[in-house]
Amino acid sequence: MNLFPNTLPTIALAAALCLPNASASVDPKIEAAVQAVYPSLVRIHVVFEGGGAGRMQKGRASGSGTIISPDGYILTNHHVAGRATRITVRLADRQELRATLVGTDALADLAVLKIDQKDLRDPKVPLPVAKFGDSSSLQVGDVVLAMGSPAGVSQSVTQGIVANTEMIAPGGAMRLDGESVGELVRWIGHDAVIFPGNSGGPLVNLNGEIIGVNEIGIGSLGGAIPSNLARKISDELIATGKVRRSWIGMSVQPLLKSDDAKAGVLVGGVLTGAPADLAGLKAGDRVTRCNGQEIVASRAPEDIPVVNRMLLETPVGSEIALEGVRDGKAMSWKVTTIEREPAEPREKELLSWGITARDLTDLAAKELLRSDSKAAVVQSLRPGGAAAAAKPSIADGDLILAVDGKPTPDLAALVTVSQEITSGKTEPVPVLVSYEHDGRSYLTVVRIGPEPEVDKPGIAKKAWIGIDTQVISSELSDALGIAESKGVRITRVHPGTLAGKSGLQIGDLLLKLDGTVIPASRPEEADVFETLIRQYRIGTEVLLSVRRGKEDLQVKVPLETGHEGTADLASHECKTLEFNARDLGQEDRVARKLPGDFKGVLVTAITPAGWAALGGLAAGDILLSMDGTAVESVEILKSVLADLEKNARSPIVLFVRRGISSRYIELEPTW
């Protein structure tokens, strides 16, 4: 059986292509092009993480991709899957499979995923594979097809023409993880309709070849990364898992309008100590040749990515031969490249500090006018966390230089030192921290380590009568025909209480307590009756003078032990799954009309962009079980969570009650 049908209904295809007459025949060239690529189109759903507010925040995203290898490699965008911790792909035949991130490249906004063919319904059936075409052969006016999953819906196809083969983002505004994508990429502009979710999907020519990877929308045009660049990047990602590029510390710009040179690019700046500086290049030089290849006169920003690629794609550590002109004199330079660092190394959460941090790059150190990059950069802080609570407090962008006298030249060192200090500790440890803020050196003390559970002091038990009341105001007493009477009216009788068994009912008016008038006649005296009851000993029997309709009654009610307020109930902050919960109290049971023997814990708060929020858990849910284990109390919840963390189980299935219904929720933490 063929799992990947190689035909599409003509009417459906016509509708997908937005043709005016869906019953008309589709252009055979278009139909053939669709059939060549469409079966290899995949829909991608990811769970991703990014640093913010002192923690790694989670989110969901969707995009598109194309199977480009019989081995199951998929090409998509970095901004779709480059930060993914969970990846699911849906094939054109609706098979849904897990995928892994092979490698990603923020500068080109490309990423490669891989599915395990053993997970297919029939692993023996070959995967459909799309082929690359030559993007350099494209011309304005060529018909192209944009394929993808707009807004996460099923795979779709739209038709358009090439509008621009050298499109760039205005002002270099396209930035990903600190990288300016326009530094390297000139997009193929086209008017085939695309929406968010099309990202990563193929732009296809009428030969049924990938000639671009859809990435952005600028105005009314879509922008696709040229296939020649995408193929080169994807090959390197598949081979090594990353892309290595050369760097010489030189920026270039278009020639000045006053320069009528026939070739070359203007050197705008050279960083001190960089390879270009060591080779003798200076701002104002005009570079005309690179390794013997002439540089066409750069007259506009669209020309700069071409020159950048010449330099960036040179093998790392190799020597570049540059020729050019300085003040009318011919010049030549030999520049030995070094490896280009990522603009923003990946951040990591340090829970004990309440921060996310990353390495400081050499380039960032130069921008800070520092002599070296031996520091860890604070990327974000959690309000109220250890670092933010220090005095003086640490701020975003500060550089952590040493902790407890131990240097922290990079993020790995900061993590190691922190783990050594907090290992085995049950309470925060005050440590001396050396850090840099706005170029100035500071010292502070940060209390890092686990935040202990707050033990609530024991609350003395008080007498309780098992009812809720409202004050009988003067207006209410007049309306009820008991002018100038004081007291309270019963608004609720708690189920199973001695008050109910004694015969008290909702609507009863309580006028006297043990023969004394209940002195409550104004709304602000709502706690008077409860205060009087609390002055009795538990177990005492009180006599109530009751008005029920036109009948006066005397009712004796034994007093019970007062139930706990919500502030007195056991609670727990689950930091790993990012939600808070507490035991159910009497008020919860009454308000939700739960049986007296109902067991569970109440979810009281959800951390925004956390694992619980991502899975759909909500404040107000009653958690009944986790992975099949009944969660009857906070103490059981702690035990279950400890076991889940120890075994790093994922996904975790929660069974909750929400309102009058119940549901299952899956959390997929990365432990």
Quote the pTM value.
0.76
CATH code of 566-667, in short, is: 2.30.42.60
Q: What's the pLDDT score for residue 151?
A: 64
Q: What's the pLDDT score for residue 288?
A: 96
The answer to whether 489 touches 526, Cβ cutoff 8 Å, is no
Q: What's the pLDDT score for residue 20?
A: 40
How far is the C-alpha of 179 from the C-alpha of 343, rounded, in Å? 6
DSSP bridge partners of 447: 430
Confidence band for 495, pLDDT divided at 50, 70 and 90: confident
Confidence band for 175, pLDDT divided at 50, 70 and 90: confident
pLDDT tens digits, residue range 227-242? 999 999 999 999 999 9
Q: CA torsion sign, 423 to 426 to 432 to 433?
A: positive
The yes-or-no verdict on residue 14 having pLDDT over 80 is no
> Which residue ranges make up each domain of the chain?
1-244, 246-339, 348-448, 463-561, 566-667
Q: What's the pLDDT score for residue 346?
A: 93
User: Looking up tokens 């925004």, which residue turns up?
Assistant: 608
- CATH topology for 348-448? Pdz3 Domain (2.30.42)
How far is the C-alpha of 57 from the C-alpha of 52, rounded, in Å? 6
Long-range contacts of 487-490 (CB under 8 A, 24+ apart): 487/511, 487/512, 487/517, 487/518, 487/520, 487/529, 488/518, 488/520, 488/529
pLDDT tens digits, residue range 422-438? 998 888 999 999 999 99
Q: What's the pLDDT score for residue 564?
A: 66
Cα-based distances in Å from 89 to 44, 97, 612: 5, 5, 22
**Peptide bond connecting 126 to the previous residue in cis, omega within 30 degrees of 0:** no
Q: What's the pLDDT score for residue 481?
A: 84
Strands (E), 53-109: 55-67, 73-76, 84-90, 96-105
Mean pLDDT is lowest, of 21-25, 358-362, 637-641, 651-655, for 21-25
The answer to whether 556 touches 502, Cβ cutoff 8 Å, is yes
Say which residue, 454 or 73, is predicted with more confidence: 73
Residue type, 209: E
**Where is 440: in which H helix or E strand?**
strand 440-448
Say which residue, 19 or 257, is predicted with more confidence: 257
The mean per-residue pLDDT over the stretch 376-390 comes to 94
The answer to whether 436 touches 398, Cβ cutoff 8 Å, is yes
How far is the C-alpha of 419 from the C-alpha of 438, rounded, in Å? 28
Residue type, 66: T
The yes-or-no verdict on residue 655 having pLDDT over 90 is yes
How far is the C-alpha of 11 from the C-alpha of 26, rounded, in Å? 8
The yes-or-no verdict on residue 498 having pLDDT over 90 is yes
Q: What's the pLDDT score for residue 54?
A: 92
Confidence band for 35, pLDDT divided at 50, 70 and 90: very high
The answer to whether 149 touches 156, Cβ cutoff 8 Å, is yes
The mean per-residue pLDDT over the stretch 492-496 comes to 86
Say which residue, 670 or 68, is predicted with more confidence: 68
Task: Look at strands 579-583 and 406-407 and give their pairing.
Answer: unpaired
Phi-psi region of 405 (alpha: psi -120 to 50; beta: other; left: phi over 0): left
Q: What's the pLDDT score for residue 23?
A: 42
Catalytic residues: 79, 109, 199
DSSP-based three-state secondary structure for 394: coil
The yes-or-no verdict on residue 483 having pLDDT over 90 is no
| Sequence-ordered list of residues with C-beta below 8 angstroms from that of 554, at least 6 positions apart, any chain | 543, 544, 545, 546
The answer to whether 532 touches 513, Cβ cutoff 8 Å, is yes
DSSP bridge partners of 578: none
Q: What's the pLDDT score for residue 451?
A: 63
Confidence band for 12, pLDDT divided at 50, 70 and 90: very low
- CA Rg value for the chain: 35
Which of 205, 119, 195, 130 has the alpha carbon at shortest distance from 162? 205
Residue type, 198: N
The mean per-residue pLDDT over the stretch 184-206 comes to 90
The mean per-residue pLDDT over the stretch 304-331 comes to 95
pLDDT tens digits, residue range 246-255? 999 999 999 9
Q: What's the pLDDT score for residue 591?
A: 81
The yes-or-no verdict on residue 21 having pLDDT over 60 is no
The answer to whether 150 touches 194, Cβ cutoff 8 Å, is yes
The yes-or-no verdict on residue 141 having pLDDT over 50 is yes
User: Looking up tokens 């005492």, which residue turns up?
Assistant: 540
CATH code of 1-244, in short, is: 2.40.10.120
Encoded tokens for 336: 């030995």
> Cα angle at 26 between 22 and 31, to 5 degrees?
125
CATH code of 246-339, in short, is: 2.30.42.10
Cα-based distances in Å from 137 to 206, 212, 227, 434, 567: 13, 12, 11, 57, 71
How far is the C-alpha of 293 from the C-alpha of 130, rounded, in Å? 33
The mean per-residue pLDDT over the stretch 634-648 comes to 91
pLDDT tens digits, residue range 105-116? 999 999 999 998
The yes-or-no verdict on residue 470 having pLDDT over 60 is yes
Domain 463-561, CATH among 3.40.640.10, 2.30.42.10, 3.40.50.620, 2.70.150.10: 2.30.42.10
% of the chain with per-residue pLDDT over 90: 67
pLDDT tens digits, residue range 336-356? 999 999 999 999 999 999 999
Q: What is the dihedral of CA 629, 635, 638, 643, to 10 degrees?
A: -50
The mean per-residue pLDDT over the stretch 53-82 comes to 93
The answer to whether 246-339 and 348-448 have equal CATH topology is yes
Q: What's the pLDDT score for residue 462?
A: 83
Q: What's the pLDDT score for residue 239?
A: 96
pLDDT tens digits, residue range 533-578? 988 999 999 999 999 998 999 999 999 987 766 667 888 989 889 9
The mean per-residue pLDDT over the stretch 203-210 comes to 96
The mean per-residue pLDDT over the stretch 462-488 comes to 89
Q: What's the pLDDT score for residue 458?
A: 52
**Mean model confidence pLDDT for the chain:** 89
Q: What's the pLDDT score for residue 3?
A: 34
